[in-house]
Each structure stands twice: as C-alpha cells, then as structure tokens.
C-alpha cells in the first residue's frame, strides 16, 4: 500500500498545526468505536481565549455574499500565538460536519501584511481535509458540528527549524467548508463490482460495464468481523488487493503477507473507508479518484493506480 501525504494548501495547514500541537492526543489513543462519540476532548483541543483575541485582528471581506474573499487585513503580532488556533467567523447553513468525515475546503493563504499567497478559489477546486482527532485538534474542535458554508480563520506562529534562526512568518488562512464527504456502507448488489475468491482466499473482481465511483467512499461489507473497532488514528495489519476501473490489478499483498500501516498515512479512501470497521472484517472499498491517488491521464499505463479505485481489504489486526 503506497503512502500518500496531503498536497497543496491542505498539507501546509496540517504541517503547521502538527509542529505546534503534536501529532496525536490522548483522545486518539482512547477512541475505540469512532461512531460512538461525536466530539473530542475539548480540554486538549480548544484554542485559548488569548489566541482567539489575536485572531480577531484578521479580517476577510468579500465584495458580495457567498463570494470568495478579496480584501484581507491583519492586525496584531501573530507570532505571539501559543499554537495553531482557529476562530469561526461565519456559521454555515448546509449539512452538518461530523467527526471522522472529510471536509471539502476552499482556502486562501496570506502573509502578515494581508497579501494573498495562494487561493484554491482561483485554482478552481477545493481541497480535502480530514475532520479527525488524528489531524488538527484545534481545527476539529472548531469545525465539527458546524455546517457546510462555515468560514474560519486558521493561524499559527512561525517556528524556526534551527537554533538561532530568524522566526519565519506566521501561517494565516481563511478556510471555507463547501462540502462534506464520508464513507457510506452500502448493500451489495449486481450494480456494484462483485468479489470472488479462490480456494486460498485470494480475491478477484468483476466490474459492471460503465461502472463509476460516487463522490463519497462506498464500503461493501463482505464479511463482518467481531474484533476491536478501527479509528483513523489506528495502525492496522491487513491483506489487500487493488484494481483500477479497467479491471487491472495494480497491487496486492495476498501473494506475500499482511501489511502493517498507520491509517493516518495512507490515501483518505482507506483512512475513512476502514474507520468504524472491526478487526476480522473483509470489505470492498470503492474510492473516488480524489480520495485515492488522483485522476487518470492518457499517459497512464493500464495497470496504473489512478482514477476511481477498488480495494478488497481483509483486516487482520490492530496495534
């Protein structure tokens, strides 16, 4: 299984937060069934009142309602922030954003003078950020339970990587959640790819003509396990085989041995498709391209791991 870090502005947001607030919390370690609770431990994850006051000095203005922000003003010394911090500046009115979902987010980054650095609005497509206790605690606390359309300011002081080096500029973003996605457990049917196994348990797949993945991750439970529940913060061991929608296999562990990996460091189709499953379960994951390894191009080989993907995953254990 290839590891796939986040890309673009989303990666910068996550990296800034993890440097200042750590990669995980006790809440991650204590999570057993991720579907049993809808909130994280606020004492570990909330932005401080002092940091919120500093964030009040960041103002984004739009020329019209629901349009991309244009003018930005930044007041105050954001290097005085105690860590990665988030302030909701406008509530949304759409679907609720639950814990262990995937938010589609438009982002604008600016420097301390308010000058724009980059914008997903101009790039034409939002990026995806996990709303998980394994990612950015302050961001999760601010956004989970909010609704699509919510806008928030994210900021973090710059951190010098070498002793004696100048402190770099703070990270400043406006983030607008424009959609929310999750894994959907679906009933098996003839309209979906069908999995068969040989006498050694090695899977094969038959894909209906013109089949396409949906916007959300689809999970077909082939066999239900009765072991521990899996969360996005867990490390698991699993056997798997992957195919593209041409029906070509591009990777498998069944001819070797089960592979151990952290769910926080694989494609998001795996992170959220397997979250909520139990050890011993066997599933078919149907993963849209942007939650896998990206879209296909005319130059891709037939066996390339691009476009919409299919994975059969047998969850062996959790560590």
* 103's tokens: 């938010």
pLDDT of residue 22: 42
Task: Look over the chain and give the mean of its residue pLDDT values, rounded to a whole number.
Answer: 82
Confidence at 64, pLDDT banded by 50, 70, 90: low
pLDDT of residue 45: 54
CB-based burial label for 255 (10 Å; 0-12, 13-18, 19+): exposed
CA–CA dist 25, 137 (Å, integer)? 8
pLDDT of residue 225: 95
- Condensed to tens digits (0 to 9), the pLDDT of residues 94-110 reads 999 988 788 889 999 99
Residue 213: which residues within 8 A CB-CB, separation 6 or more? Answer: 245, 286, 287, 288, 289, 308, 309
What is the DSSP annotation of 115-175?
A: -EEEEHHHHTS-EEEEESTTT-HHHHHHHTT-BTT-EEEEEE----SSTTPPPPPPEEEEE
Ranges 94-108, 135-149, 181-195, most confident: 181-195
Q: Do 107 and 173 contact (CB within 8 A), yes or no?
A: yes
pLDDT of residue 128: 79
pLDDT of residue 281: 97
Q: How many CA atoms lie within 13 A of 194 on its CB side?
A: 7
Higher pLDDT, 29 or 196: 196
pLDDT at 196 over 50: yes
Q: How crowded is residue 134: how many other Cβ atoms within 10 Å of its Cβ?
A: 24
pTM above 0.75, yes or no: no
Q: Where in the chain is the domain with CATH 3.10.50.40?
A: 8-181, 184-318
Percent of the chain with pLDDT over 90: 41
Which fold does the domain 8-181 belong to in CATH?
A: Chitinase A; domain 3 (3.10.50)
Confidence at 44, pLDDT banded by 50, 70, 90: very low
Question: Which residue, 276, 23, 50, 268, is CA-closest to 137?
Answer: 23
pLDDT of residue 204: 97
Confidence at 252, pLDDT banded by 50, 70, 90: very high
Confidence at 310, pLDDT banded by 50, 70, 90: very high
pLDDT of residue 248: 94
Confidence at 71, pLDDT banded by 50, 70, 90: confident
pLDDT at 283 over 90: yes
pLDDT of residue 284: 98
CA distances from 111 to 17, 86, 160 (A): 17, 17, 17
Question: Which residue, 266, 234, 239, is CA-closest to 254?
Answer: 239
Q: State in words which class domain 184-318 has.
A: alpha beta
Helix, strand, or coil (residue 254): coil
Confidence at 139, pLDDT banded by 50, 70, 90: confident
* 200's tokens: 């050694």
pLDDT of residue 159: 75
pLDDT at 88 over 80: yes
Confidence at 122, pLDDT banded by 50, 70, 90: confident
Sign of the torsion angle spanned by Cα atoms 97, 13, 231, 290: positive
Percent of the chain with pLDDT over 70: 84
Higher pLDDT, 47 or 186: 186
CA–CA dist 302, 34 (Å, integer)? 37
CA dihedral 267, 270, 275, 280 (to 10 degrees): -140
Average pLDDT over residues 136-163: 85
Higher pLDDT, 232 or 216: 216
**DSSP-derived secondary structure letter, 39:** -
pLDDT at 42 over 50: no
């Amino acid at each position: 299984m290839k590891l796939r870090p986040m890309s673009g502005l989303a990666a910068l947001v996550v990296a800034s937060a993890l440097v200042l607030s750590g990669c995980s919390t006790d809440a991650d370690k204590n999570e057993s069934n991720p579907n049993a609770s809808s909130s994280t431990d606020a004492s570990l994850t909330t932005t401080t009142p002092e940091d919120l006051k500093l964030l009040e000095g960041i103002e984004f203005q739009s020329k019209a309602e629901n349009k991309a922000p244009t003018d930005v003003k930044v007041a105050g010394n954001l290097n005085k922030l105690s860590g990665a911090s988030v302030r909701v500046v406008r509530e949304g009115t759409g679907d609720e954003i639950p814990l262990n979902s995937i938010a589609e987010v438009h982002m604008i980054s600016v420097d301390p003078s308010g000058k724009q650095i980059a914008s997903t609005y101009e790039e034409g497509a939002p990026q995806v950020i996990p709303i998980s206790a394994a990612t950015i605690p302050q961001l999760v606390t601010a956004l989970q339970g909010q609704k699509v359309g919510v806008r928030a300011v994210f900021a973090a002081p710059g951190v010098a990587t070498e002793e004696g080096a100048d402190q770099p500029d703070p990270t400043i973003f406006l983030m607008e959640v424009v959609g929310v996605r999750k894994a959907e457990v679906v009933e098996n049917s003839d309209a979906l790819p069908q999995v068969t196994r040989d006498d050694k348990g090695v899977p094969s797949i038959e894909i209906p003509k013109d089949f396409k993945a949906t916007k959300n991750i689809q999970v077909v439970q082939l066999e239900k396990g009765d072991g521990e529940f899996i969360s996005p913060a867990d490390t698991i061991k699993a056997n798997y085989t992957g195919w593209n929608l041409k029906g070509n296999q591009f990777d498998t562990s069944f001819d070797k041995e089960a592979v151990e990996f952290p769910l926080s460091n694989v494609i998001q189709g795996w992170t959220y498709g397997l979250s909520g499953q139990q050890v011993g379960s066997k599933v078919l994951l149907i993963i849209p391209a942007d939650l896998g390894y990206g879209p296909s191009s005319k130059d891709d080989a037939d066996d390339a791991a691009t476009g919409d993907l299919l994975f059969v995953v047998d969850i062996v254990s959790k560590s």
